[in-house]
Structure 1
Amino acid sequence: MNAPTSNDWPAGLLLAYYGDDFTGSTDAMEAMAAAGVPTLLCLDKPTPELLARFPGVRCVGLAGSSRGRGPQWMNDALPGAFASLAALGAPILQYKVCSTFDSSPETGSIGRAIDIGVKHMRGSWSPMIVGAPRLKRYQAFGNLFATVDGVGYRLDRHPTMSRHPVTPMNEADLRVHLGRQTARRIELIDMVQLRSLDATARVRALGGDDTPVVMIDVLDEETLAAAGKLVWEQRGEGVFSASSSGLQYALAAHWRASGLLPEAPGLPTARPVDVIAAVSGSCSPVTAGQIRWARANGFHVERLDLRRALDKHGGGAEIDRAVGVAVAAIGRGQSIVVHSAEGPDDPAVLEFNATAESAGLTRQDAARRVGAGLAEVMRRVLDQAELSRVVVAGGDSSGEVASALGISALSVIGGLAPGAPLCQAWSDLPRRDGLEIVLKGGQIGEASFFGSVRAGASLS
């Protein structure tokens, strides 16, 4: 590896990011760790005392929950979060978004996050990279595409994202979609311009005191590395970027091409364990297929009854019941999945608005209550059973569970599926410190995912 110059490889942190949900936060951490960049994910604002335990870290993340929140919540919570990360001195401050751009003006507004975040960096542009070929996400001429079972879909025709229960994607052109969330100027460097010698000049021409968002197409490994080069070399005095983990992959690709990193070292293979416990709040058909696989392959699969769980009088009894079933299964050596839904057509999903209303809750409050219920199940199962490895499926559920377990930070210790690494928990609670945990987004993983987590390797 060539010796890096001080201009290319500054001392201290290279990147600090806020994740809009917990699964996305671990996805970004995996991308950096697999490239050979030591990364720590904090579950609360990073403190000097915590960071002192990890002196070699070059990237720090802060796991958040903004993807399911409204604009006012973002106004209240994000300035402090961004300020704490900006104070770490990294030249790039990222608001990490989902690679399917889950957002709307009312929920998880990426535009609102950008308007808050750009104030914390001095750059004259705000680059945006969403495409991530490793995750089968592609952006071409500003339009976002994703593949399902080997078939590519424009996102507004995607079988899941076009019907998302909270933030359905009805527009694949990200300039249009983001334009509904912010009045900020939005520009594009498309894949043709990116491959030309004029991309740098275009960045300089587009920049201004209004700090425009500049989207960068990523379609393949060539455009990925070119996008990373553009962001890194035009970071100036520091930039704010609302991007998927495509930003991490792009920067790593450029650093490798520049000799600053070795060829991607990858991640260690996770060791097998006998039993795992999983909770799932995901409504994705991908997760539904994984639950079906688990049921057919010896896992005990138990539904959390949402009407009972959300009832203010009977909710505790439903949690008690699910915990009892899970602990009994683990006691007989059987892995367990406790879930609240099995795909977007599950009656629990289709009737969720009515269920929330009957419980006297808004949809958002009910969704958080479900996540809190799953978190309580996992917390109590860990207190009552001997387990070393657990899984949480669903972004909102992951945030609730990780917070409830008293975890301070996470680091990557092994590879499983792209976007869902095996992590080690760091905690002041002896029973949680060292716990192995996987936080899985709804669209991540093959059908055998839960089996892979238990086996420590991909299953065919």
Structure 2
Amino acid sequence: MDAMMTDRGGAKGARRLLCFYGDDFTGSTDVLEALYRGGFRTVLFLEPPTPELLEEGRFRDVECFGVAGVGRSLTPEEMERELPPVFRTLRSANAAVVHYKVCSTFDSSPRVGSIGKAAELGRGTFGGGRFVPVVAGVPYLGRYTVFGNHFAAADGAVHRLDRHPTMSRHPVTPMAEADLRRHLALQTELRIGLVDVLDQSGSAESVRARLEALLARDKPELVLFDVLDDERLRKVGRLIWEEASRVGDGDSLFAIGSSGIEYALAEAMAESAGHSGRAAAGGDAGAVGAGDAAPTDRLLVVSGSCSPATERQIARALEAGYVGLRVPAGELAHPGLRDAAVRRLRAEAAAALDAGRSVLLYSALGPGDEAIAAARAELAALGLRAEDSSRVLGSALGALARELVAAAGLTRLLIAGGDTSGYVARELGVYALECKAALTPGAPLCAAYSADPVFDGLELVLKGGQIGGPDFFEEVRLGKSVGSSGVQV
């Protein structure tokens, strides 16, 4: 098996070990971090890369690459248009594994971000595997799957997903079912099997035999793997890598899941690639130290998130002396008010940065902020939908961040909120990201690739709403941990 994998991912094609599509922008950086911690050079592209771009000098030795997508926000009909072209690009890379990356909380529905629909489309493009592996758990991020039921950490406790304080009340895709097999069954008619924690006990040979028995007996098209700890996750990774070895050259094993896929595969991929990883299956959180990043004197934070975790981070940053500027979302959406609002924000932020202060631009102070309802009412009055707020706000904040970073000579930028991150990055002309340091689980420090030399090399941290402890903004500024951090969903 190792010889075959080496051929697929040799000197020219080491990147062929694994390719991935992230179904949301910030979630894609989870995979960057996982592969960075595993010791693999990985680049995330904002658009599907051309073969010529991949052969450029700066990307020639990339072992894995991904594409940041928007599958999490699409209807099944939109997925049918969006995903197949990207999947064909990834198939052309001849990777051993192609991973459709989803959120580690698996939030999705039959009508929005359907993971089942993605499975159907991926299975139609990558036909080489006997089944599609599905892995949701990531112990490193406080995510666990036991007997098919999914759990996630929040505020020092682990909650079953349908009782999770945030995910059970998600505004778009609330998780009312913790059993991921039942959850997926609402999205696809593909047969779903399970390799549970008991099946994963014992030797590698016995675990493999149980998988083979499941395949022979039930003939599942999707196989969900429980994830309880790193030891079992490594066993799962071995099974997936062995399954990838069965796929003929010119095709790939299609897999679905969180960054648990990469943590599972790290050890097996490192052996096949002929090098030892920094950390396998999560490993020691200190394997890539938080001190890998130098501090910066000023940090610009752009927040379009209204999560409770971000609310705590904003409050702590204001206490630490950040200059907080509320972003008037309604004014930015209004053609007659937008320019004046942007000029006001730009002047106030520039003055603070020039005075040596860190600046925080935020649209809301948590889920209970009355500004959220007010902004939606203003959007409705303009004939816009609530979901249009991300586009309106993100584009305006991106243009503003571009001017402030260039004028103040900033070297580091933190963006909170998945949709906001995508819009801001594109306004900066960023076309790719590469992990530089693992500051806190789920939000690595990345270096940007941009055609504009002003932004080429800019350090970016893209934070999902659930990521980070109260001191996270200062951790990013200092390049090291100053308090408790991690996934806070």
Q: TM-score range by the shorter chain?
A: over 0.9
Task: Quote how far apart the aligned CAs of 1:373 are.
Answer: 2.4
Question: In structure 2, what is the Cα distance between the partners aligned to 1:253 and 1:347?
Answer: 48
Contact 1:123 1:211 in 2 (8 A): no
- CA distances 1:196-222 after superposition (whole Å, capped 9, x unpaired): 454434444555998711110011111
Which residue pairs with 1:291 in the alignment?
314
Which residue pairs with 1:266 in the alignment?
288
Contact 1:279 1:374 in 2 (8 A): yes
Which residue pairs with 2:284 in the alignment?
none
Contact 1:312 1:359 in 2 (8 A): no
Which residue pairs with 1:153 in the alignment?
159
Question: In structure 1, what is the Cα distance between the partners aligned to 2:154 and 2:201?
Answer: 28
Which residue pairs with 1:26 in the alignment?
29
Task: Quote how far apart the aligned CAs of 1:125 are.
Answer: 0.4
Which residue pairs with 1:248 in the alignment?
262
Contact 2:5 2:17 in 1 (8 A): no
Contact 2:434 2:447 in 1 (8 A): yes
Using the TM superposition, name which of 190-199 and 52-61 deviates more. Answer: 190-199
Pick from 101, 113, 118 the counterpart of residue 113 of structure 1. 118
Using the TM superposition, name which of 246-255 and 136-145 deviates more. Answer: 246-255
Question: In structure 2, what is the Cα distance between the partners aligned to 1:211 and 1:89?
Answer: 25
> Is the aligned partner of 1:15 residue 2:40?
no
Pick from 129, 141, 148 the counterpart of residue 142 of structure 1. 148
Which residue pairs with 2:3 in the alignment?
6
> Is the aligned partner of 1:389 residue 2:429?
no
Question: In structure 2, what is the Cα distance between the partners aligned to 1:257 and 1:147?
Answer: 32
Which residue pairs with 1:75 in the alignment?
80
Pick from 169, 172, 184 the counterpart of residue 175 of structure 2. 169
* Structure 1 pair 254–352 and aligned structure 2 pair: CA distance change class (3 A): farther
Task: Quote how far apart the aligned CAs of 1:433 are.
Answer: 0.7
Which residue pairs with 2:59 in the alignment?
54
- CA distances 1:187-241 after superposition (whole Å, capped 9, x unpaired): 2111111224544344445559987111100111111111111111112213111
- CA distances 1:302-345 after superposition (whole Å, capped 9, x unpaired): 11112222223323332332222221211111111111122222
Identity across the alignment (%): 45
Task: Quote how far apart the aligned CAs of 1:260 are.
Answer: 5.2
> Is the aligned partner of 1:217 residue 2:226?
yes
Which residue pairs with 1:38 in the alignment?
41
Classify the secondary structure of the residue corresponding to 1:100: coil
* Structure 1 pair 257–92 and aligned structure 2 pair: CA distance change class (3 A): closer
Counterparts of residues 299-338 of structure 1 (less than 5 Å): 299-338=322-361
- CA distances 1:111-137 after superposition (whole Å, capped 9, x unpaired): 121111122212120001110000011
- CA distances 1:337-389 after superposition (whole Å, capped 9, x unpaired): 11112222222335554343223112222332222222222122223321110
Give the partner amino acid of 2:104: S
Contact 1:16 1:90 in 2 (8 A): yes
Contact 1:136 1:147 in 2 (8 A): yes
Classify the secondary structure of the residue corresponding to 1:166: coil
Which residue pairs with 1:180 in the alignment?
186
Contact 1:255 1:261 in 2 (8 A): no
Task: Quote how far apart the aligned CAs of 1:178 are.
Answer: 1.7
> Is the aligned partner of 1:94 residue 2:108?
no
> Is the aligned partner of 1:233 residue 2:242?
yes
Question: In structure 1, what is the Cα distance between the partners aligned to 2:174 and 2:375?
Answer: 16
Classify the secondary structure of the residue corresponding to 1:408: strand
Task: Quote how far apart the aligned CAs of 1:424 are.
Answer: 0.7
Using the TM superposition, name which of 202-211 and 164-173 deviates more. Answer: 202-211
> Is the aligned partner of 1:416 residue 2:442?
no
* Structure 1 pair 45–215 and aligned structure 2 pair: CA distance change class (3 A): same
Pick from 200, 205, 211 the counterpart of residue 208 of structure 2. 200
Contact 2:192 2:220 in 1 (8 A): no
Task: Quote how far apart the aligned CAs of 1:254 are.
Answer: 4.2
Classify the secondary structure of the residue corresponding to 1:193: coil
> Is the aligned partner of 1:349 residue 2:358?
no
Give the partner amino acid of 1:406: G
Question: In structure 1, what is the Cα distance between the partners aligned to 2:26 and 2:35?
Answer: 15
Which residue pairs with 2:282 in the alignment?
none
Classify the secondary structure of the residue corresponding to 2:439: strand
Give the partner amino acid of 2:377: A
Task: Quote how far apart the aligned CAs of 1:393 are.
Answer: 0.8
Structure 2 length normalisation: TM-score?
0.88
Using the TM superposition, name which of 107-116 and 390-399 deviates more. Answer: 107-116
Contact 2:17 2:269 in 1 (8 A): no
Give the partner amino acid of 2:172: V
- CA distances 1:69-94 after superposition (whole Å, capped 9, x unpaired): 22222111111111111110101111
Give the partner amino acid of 1:6: A
> Is the aligned partner of 1:360 residue 2:369?
no
Question: In structure 2, what is the Cα distance between the partners aligned to 1:138 and 1:144?
Answer: 6
Structure 1 length normalisation: TM-score?
0.94
- CA distances 1:376-434 after superposition (whole Å, capped 9, x unpaired): 22122223321110011111111111112111211111221111111111111111111
Give the partner amino acid of 1:249: Y
Contact 1:228 1:250 in 2 (8 A): yes
> Is the aligned partner of 1:276 residue 2:299?
yes
Instruction: Give aligned pairs, total.
Output: 457
Contact 1:226 1:254 in 2 (8 A): no
Classify the secondary structure of the residue corresponding to 1:168: coil
